[in-house]
Amino acid sequence: KNEVEQSPQNLTAQEGEFITINCSYSVGISALHWLQQHPGGGIVSLFMLSSGKKKHGRLIATINIQEKHSSLHITASHPRDSAVYICAASTGNQFYFGTGTSLTVIP
């Protein structure tokens, strides 16, 4: 049983499309993190949120604490958005990771 589930596992989109990646978790969290990993391994933290919604440029992250669900949206997707997106739940003494969503944006 995975504490954090992501969907879809793989996603291919045309440049300009609106993209949504979903994350469900089963543990009590102190925060929910969205991470981006490019080929080669480097990981960047995109968002850390415990309620509501956050926006950074074309990226938006939302969380529904009651439903234990978070979404990452990418508006006007671009080929440089191609990466693996990972959802992670921190509980205050553990970090649980989803298996990642591999996104490919085609020009």
> Which residues are at the interface with other proteins (CB under 8 A)?
30-31, 33, 35, 41-45, 48, 86, 88, 90, 92-100
The residue among 55, 87, 46, 51 whose CA lies nearest residue 67 is: 51
Least CB distance from residue 55 to other proteins, whole Å?
A: 16
Q: Which residues of the chain form beta strands (DSSP E)? A: 4-7, 10-14, 19-25, 31-37, 43-49, 52-56, 59-64, 69-74, 83-90, 95-97, 101-106
- 3 or 17, CB closer to other proteins? 3
- 16 or 50, CB closer to other proteins? 50
- 71 or 91, CB closer to other proteins? 91
Task: Reduce the DSSP state of residue 8 to 3 states and report it.
Answer: coil
Least CB distance from residue 98 to other proteins, whole Å?
A: 8
Least CB distance from residue 36 to other proteins, whole Å?
A: 10
